Amino acid sequence: MKISPKLVAALLLAGGGALPPGAWAQQVVVIANPGVQVGAGDIGDIFLGEKQFAGSVKLVPVDNAGLQAAFLSKAMNMDANKYNGRWVKKSFRDGVNPPPLKSGDAEVTEYVKRTPGAVGYVGSVPAGVTVVNKY
């Protein structure tokens, strides 16, 4: 039985888990600086500012403008409005700033490589980083 792409899109929209067009097909790879020891179960807490240390290493999450919608949907199970709302509350309540937003994979990869404690996400596996999880 062949399933039409239109049917898949309609089911996603009806289920409330809709992504922007084409985002569902995008791979999202969560990467970390090689000096960071975190697991797939830590990703949500890291990007919401709930987990700020891995051992004695300060965690530094970084967002990717080109993949943010796909990452939020696949890894965080939320949209940009909910994510930003959580960070507004966190900033006022705890004085913690949201992750910086980088323009794309190259900028995120370089930031993660050179920043101790950095955790980010890109579209494919780059060299010189630790892969935390793939979506």
Q: What is the pLDDT of residue 131?
A: 98
Q: How far is CA 102 from CA 7, 15, 34, 66, 93, in A?
A: 34, 30, 19, 9, 25
Radius of gyration of the chain (CA): 16
Q: Tell me the CATH architecture of domain 27-134.
A: 3-Layer(aba) Sandwich (3.40)
Q: What is the pLDDT of residue 108?
A: 98
Q: What is the pLDDT of residues 22-58, one digit of tens each?
A: 555 689 999 999 999 999 999 999 999 999 999 999 9
- pLDDT values of the chain reduced to their tens digit, one per residue, 135 residues: 444 444 344 434 444 444 455 555 689 999 999 999 999 999 999 999 999 999 999 999 999 999 999 999 999 999 999 999 999 999 999 999 999 999 999 999 999 999 999 999 999 999 999 999 999
Sheet holding 60-61, edge to edge: 60-61, 118-122, 29-32, 130-134
